[in-house]
Amino acid sequence: MFLRTLVLLVLGLFAAPLWAANCAATVEANDAMQFNVANVNVPQSCKTFTVTLKHTGKLPRNVMGHDWVLTTAADKAGVDEDGIKAGLDNNYIKPGDTRVIAHTKVIGGGEAASVTFKPSVLKAGTDYVYFCSFPGHSAVMNGKITLTKG
């Protein structure tokens, strides 16, 4: 009985990572103003969730910069509008904007940036989106955040 329990315990330790939620995502952006994914799943069970944005293009940040901004669908237009006024020096995010849940800095071709947030701030039944706040990009560079039970 002891040996059987020991074997099950050891197997359980090796299997645990298979059951763990994936608490990170990578989103790529390119010089054609495109994200490579339209939806990011965020498991509720994660204590933190990290998004890494990779700019796979070649153009510099002041010409074809990209960022990753998380907000509610209802706040997207206002966050985008105020961000454009804030300018590149502020990464096209209005300083202190409480509507922004998380965001990366604006990056250029060949660069990457990450942001980590707590999924616990996302509420079930609320629509969340991510977008690029570089002027003119949010209309085509956007996606949905899905809060999952994982």
pLDDT at 12: 43
Residues 54-89 pLDDT 10s: 999 999 999 999 999 999 999 999 999 999 999 999
Confidence of residue 20 (pLDDT cuts 50, 70, 90): low
- Work out how many domains the chain is built from and give that number: 1
User: CA-CA distance, 24 to 115, in Å (whole number)?
Assistant: 10
The bridge status of strand 128-131 relative to strand 69-72 is antiparallel
Q: Which domain holds residue 59?
A: 22-148
Contact 133, 103 (CB under 8 A): yes
pTM of the model as a whole: 0.86
In whole angstroms, give the CA distance from residue 150 to residue 140. Answer: 29
What CATH number has the domain bearing residue 42? 2.60.40.420
Question: Is 5 inside a domain boundary?
Answer: no
77 bridge partner residues? none
Please report whether residue 8 resides in a domain: no
Q: Do the domain assignments include residue 2?
A: no
State pLDDT tens for residues 24-59: 999 999 999 999 999 999 999 999 999 999 999 999
Q: Is position 42 within any domain?
A: yes
**Residue 10, domain member (yes or no):** no
**Using alpha carbons only, how large is the chain's radius of gyration in Å?**
19
Judged against a pLDDT cut of 50, whether residue 16 lies above it is answered with no
DSSP string for residues in 53-110: EEE-S-S-HHHH-B--EEEETTTHHHHHHHHHHH-GGGTTS-TT-TT--EEPPPB-TT
Let me know if residue 6 belongs to a domain: no
| Bridge partner list, 71 | 129
The answer to whether position 9 is within a domain reads no
In a domain, 31, yes or no: yes
Q: Which tokens sit at 36?
A: 């490579």
pLDDT of res. 126: 96
Helix, strand, coil percent values for the chain (each to nearest 5): 25, 30, 45
Looking at the chain, the whole-number percentage of residues with pLDDT higher than 90 is 84
